[in-house]
Amino acid sequence: MSFYEKYILPHALHFACKQRLVEPLRREVVPLAEGVVLELGIGSGLNLPHYDPGKVRAVIGVDPSEALWRKSEPLRRGLPFPVEFLPARAEALPLEKHSVDTVLLTFTLCTVEGVGPALEEARRVLRPGGRLLFCEHGLAPEPHVRKWQHRLNPLWKPLAGGCNLNRDIPALLRTHGWNIAHLQEGYFVGFKVAGYAYRGVAVGR
């Protein structure tokens, strides 16, 4: 792990993900979670204040970065439900089959290296009838924006901790065993290259 990845990147990611422009999207998606929730890419815990304590029994957070997770300590104080952190990758979840009620993804699929295995693992651990909630940025609909997303991605990715600008989120979900039950999309920031968001609900096939 480089000096940048170990000491600078966790602070940069925490700062970027807690921006006010992102909070309305979190408030829209996170309260839909219920039961035992698996949050993939929990990072610094920025979703924790948005869970509905009347619906959530426990949260299991998975993230490869323990440095980011340490930043969540203030947000964990006083929560009315237990939170367990697993330092692992979404592509190989240390969980039993059908062990969670909800899977939550917020600004995670842009960074996961093995998107296909991660989505298949999410389907494996989700109980029958459970839901995957997602809020992700990705490929924009306009050709001129897409062109710049593809051009800038090789420069953006190493600086942003592996984040990709140009992933087609709905297509990835459908390709890897999910039916999208509800989908909203649109720009959430003026910087269009990184500002097109998909949010919604998916169920496993």
Q: 19-69, pLDDT tens digit by residue?
A: 566 889 999 999 999 999 999 999 999 999 999 999 999 999 999 999 889
pLDDT tens digits, residue range 137-182?
999 999 999 999 999 999 999 988 889 999 999 999 999 999 999 9
Are the beta carbons of 111 and 5 closer than 8 angstroms? no
Residue 66: the pLDDT is 93
Per-residue confidence band for 10, with pLDDT thresholds at 50, 70 and 90 = very low
> Which CATH number goes with the domain that contains 155?
3.40.50.150
Give the CA-trace dihedral at 12, 14, 19, 22, to 10 degrees.
120
What is the pLDDT, as a whole number, of residue 55? 98
Cβ within 8 Å of residue 181, ≥6 positions away: 131, 200, 201, 202, 203
Nearest CA to 99 out of 52, 53, 38 is that of 38
Of the candidates 178, 183, 176, 182, which has an alpha carbon nearest to the alpha carbon of residue 197?
A: 183
All residues at 6 or more sequence positions from 93 whose CB lies less than 8 Å from its CB, including other chains = 38, 62, 86, 121, 122, 124, 125
How would residue 5 be classed by pLDDT, with cut points 50, 70 and 90? very low
> Residue 69's domain spans which residues?
3-204
Task: Give percent above pLDDT 90 in the chain.
Answer: 83
Most confident of 70-74, 102-106, 189-193: 102-106
Q: Output Rg (C-alpha) for the chain, integer angstroms.
A: 16
Those residues with Cβ within 8 angstroms of residue 4's Cβ, 6 or more apart along the chain or in another chain? none
Residues 46, 17 contacting (CB under 8 angstroms):
yes
Number of domains in the chain: 1
Q: What is the mean pLDDT of the chain?
A: 91
Strand ranges for the chain from DSSP E = 35-40, 56-62, 83-86, 100-106, 126-137, 178-187, 196-204
Q: For residue 184, which amino acid is it?
A: Q
